């Protein structure tokens, strides 16, 4: 198969998550199966606009529908935002190395996200809830700049009401009536009943936040090798050919986007990388 050849996907539904964030529910029109691992991404292609990497949030194998949640930021994502049910786009993937779900078996899972970092983390949560007996306690920590940026509030409430699931939300700036924490997501660590020896952490969001979160968890006793994070870089080929997504000696599209913290620790926050 030519790795650059997109498959056709029809938009069978869309959900407005906030003023600039939306979810597209897609069905591949060729009828061939699609399977992904949590943390992997697809390249979404819109004729006349371009192609962008977007994480897979969820799939519903019975209906063959897969979901992407997208923030409209620039040329391609703004054009995707204008699409409606019935429109068609190109899709290649899934690509990349996802979250270490096997390594997490039998352990408590701590998910720390910032901003729309929640998109790749939702696939972790869906996977754990679908295989609940394989995992221990789940802590979900989500931080946003402003409470207006928080999407999926009802979903967080639903997850937080499940046994052995703790949801903690934080906003740097809060609207009146906000019941969550005010401050950086890392300040939520003080509320955690963390058992470092039996925990694994998965982080996604801005690099500055992931770096602070990794250092903070490590200081609380979590082994460096038990901390994973999902990196973002501009991409073109998505299959390790063009070098666009190079990060030190790695290609984020092929060797990531999920890396163990020790693999990237030295380069995180270094200007130019």
Q: Which residues bind ligand FES (CB under 6 A)?
A: 235-238, 240-245, 251, 253
Q: Alpha-carbon distance 236 to 4, whole Å?
A: 10
251 touches which of ligand FES, ligand FAD, none (CB within 5 to 8 A by kind)? Answer: ligand FES
Q: Which helix (H) or strand (E) holds 75?
A: helix 75-81
Least Å distance between CB 46 and ligand FES?
A: 18
Segment contacting ligand FAD (CB under 6 A): 82-90, 138-146, 179-187, 233-241? 233-241
73 touches which of ligand FES, ligand FAD, none (CB within 5 to 8 A by kind)? Answer: ligand FAD
Q: Comparing C-alpha atoms, which of 196, 136, 191 is closest to residue 165?
A: 136
Least Å distance between CB 76 and ligand FES?
A: 15
For 240, counting Cβ atoms within 10 Å of its Cβ (0-12 exposed, 13-18 middle, 19+ buried), the class is middle
Q: Comparing C-alpha atoms, which of 192, 26, 23, 196 is closest to residue 118?
A: 23
211 touches which of ligand FES, ligand FAD, none (CB within 5 to 8 A by kind)? Answer: none
Choose which of 32, 163, 234, 270 interacts with ligand FAD (CB under 6 A).
Answer: 234
- Sign of the alpha-carbon torsion through 28, 118, 257, 45: positive
- By Cβ distance, which residue is nearest to ligand FAD? 74
Q: Alpha-carbon distance 143 to 186, whole Å?
A: 8
Q: Half-sphere exposure of 72 toward its Cβ, with a 13 Å CA cutoff?
A: 15
Q: Half-sphere exposure of 228 toward its Cβ, with a 13 Å CA cutoff?
A: 24
Segment contacting ligand FAD (CB under 6 A): 67-75, 164-172, 183-191, 214-222? 67-75
Least Å distance between CB 174 and ligand FES?
A: 38
- If the CB atoms of residues 89 and 174 are measured against ligand FAD, the closer one turns out to be 89
Task: Read off the tokens for 34.
Answer: 């699609």
Q: Tell me if 232 contacts ligand FAD by CB under 6 A.
A: yes
Q: Tell me if 77 contacts ligand FAD by CB under 6 A.
A: yes
Choose which of 24, 26, 43, 52 interacts with ligand FAD (CB under 6 A).
Answer: 52
Size of the site for ligand FAD (CB under 6 A): 21
Least Å distance between CB 50 and ligand FAD?
A: 6
Q: Tell me if 153 contacts ligand FAD by CB under 6 A.
A: no
Between the alpha carbon of residue 55 and those of residues 37, 41, 77, 119, 132, the distances in Å are: 11, 4, 13, 7, 23
For 112, counting Cβ atoms within 10 Å of its Cβ (0-12 exposed, 13-18 middle, 19+ buried), the class is buried
- If the CB atoms of residues 167 and 235 are measured against ligand FES, the closer one turns out to be 235
């Amino acid at each position: 198969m030519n790795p650059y050849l997109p498959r056709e996907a029809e938009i069978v539904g869309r959900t407005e998550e906030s003023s600039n964030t939306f979810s597209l529910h897609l069905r591949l029109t060729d009828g061939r199966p699609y399977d992904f691992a949590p943390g992997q991404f697809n390249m979404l292609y819109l004729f006349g606009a371009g192609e962008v990497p977007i994480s897979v949030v969820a799939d519903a194998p019975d209906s063959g529908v897969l979901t992407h949640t997208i923030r409209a930021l620039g040329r391609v994502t703004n054009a995707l935002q204008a699409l409606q049910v019935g429109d068609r786009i190109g899709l290649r993937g899934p690509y990349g190395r996802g979250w270490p779900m096997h390594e997490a078996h039998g352990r408590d899972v701590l998910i720390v996200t910032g901003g729309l970092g929640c998109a790749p983390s939702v696939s972790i949560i869906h996977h754990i809830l679908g295989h609940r007996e394989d995992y221990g306690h789940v802590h979900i920590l989500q931080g946003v700049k402003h409470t207006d940026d928080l999407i999926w509030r009802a979903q967080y409430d639903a997850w937080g009401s499940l046994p052995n699931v703790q949801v903690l939300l934080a906003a740097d700036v809060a609207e009146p009536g906000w019941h969550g924490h005010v401050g950086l997501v890392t300040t939520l660590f003080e509320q955690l009943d963390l058992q470092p020896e039996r925990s694994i952490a998965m982080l996604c969001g801005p690099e500055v936040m992931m770096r602070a979160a990794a250092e903070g968890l490590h200081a609380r006793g979590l082994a460096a090798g038990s901390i994973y994070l999902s990196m973002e870089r501009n991409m073109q080929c998505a299959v390790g050919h063009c070098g666009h997504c190079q990060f030190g000696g790695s290609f984020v599209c092929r060797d990531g986007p999920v890396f163990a913290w020790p693999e990237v620790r030295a380069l995180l926050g270094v200007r130019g990388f």
